[in-house]
Homo-oligomer: A and B are copies of this chain.
Amino acid sequence: MPDDVGHEIADALGTLLKRGTRAHLYGRLTEGLGEAVDETTYPVLSGLARTGPCSAADLAGEIGLDRSGVTRRATRLEEAGLLRREPHPDDRRATLLALTETGQRVVQTTRQRLATLIEASLTSWPPEEAQSFARQLHRFVATGPFTES
């Protein structure tokens, strides 16, 4: 492998992981979706859509946040009607966090917005090149030094 491949990818990751890009991007995705949906509550919605109904502790591990933070954000989203707390059927201590219908629609909207943004920046790419790039990026992220612990 050429020696500058690592450095070239490093540069790209540098601008990608640059401070503010996450807030900037998530801000665009959640724009106009209500007061409760912003760049801080978005990971809760998105993660909950991935995992399905689960406890706050599990969701905390999923999105890399403390359990207390998830609880607070979940409360905000619950008041906005995007998320529902339902008692665990078998354990009356536990409460499951689950998306409401509206919550699922919001997640779907943000996901579609992100996909549209991405595809918009790939319009000039040859289709099969975009396809292979998507697969390679997916694989790279999965096997890279990013999946912590």
List residues of chain A with CB under 8 Å of any chain B CB.
1-2, 5-22, 24-25, 28, 43, 46, 63-65, 111, 114-123, 125, 127, 129-131, 133-138, 140-148
- CA separation between A63 and B79, bound complex, in Å? 36
The answer to whether A10 and B115 touch across the interface, beta carbons within 8 angstroms, is yes
Residues of B within 8 A of A140 (CB): 12, 121-122, 133
Contacts known (A24-B148, A140-B122); A131 close to B9, Cβ less than 8 A: no
CA distance A115 to B24 in the complex (A): 26
Per the bound structure, the CA–CA distance linking A134 and B63 in Å amounts to 27
- CB-based contact B63/A146 at 8 Å: no
Can you name the residue of chain B whose Cβ is closest to the Cβ of A26?
B17
The residue that A5 contacts in the complex, of B16, B134, B148, with Cβ under 8 A, is: B134
Report the Cα distance A63→B21, complex, angstroms.
10
How far does the Cβ of A137 sit from chain B's closest Cβ, in whole Å? 5
Alpha-carbon gap, A136 to B140, bound state (A): 13
- Asked whether, in the complex, the Cβ of A144 is within 8 Å of the Cβ of B121, the reply is yes
- Interface pair B144/A11, CB less than 8 Å apart: no
Contact pick for A65, options B6, B19, B65, CB 8 Å: B19
Q: How far is the CB of A80 from chain B (nearest CB, A)?
A: 21
Contact yes or no, B130 A5, CB < 8 A: yes
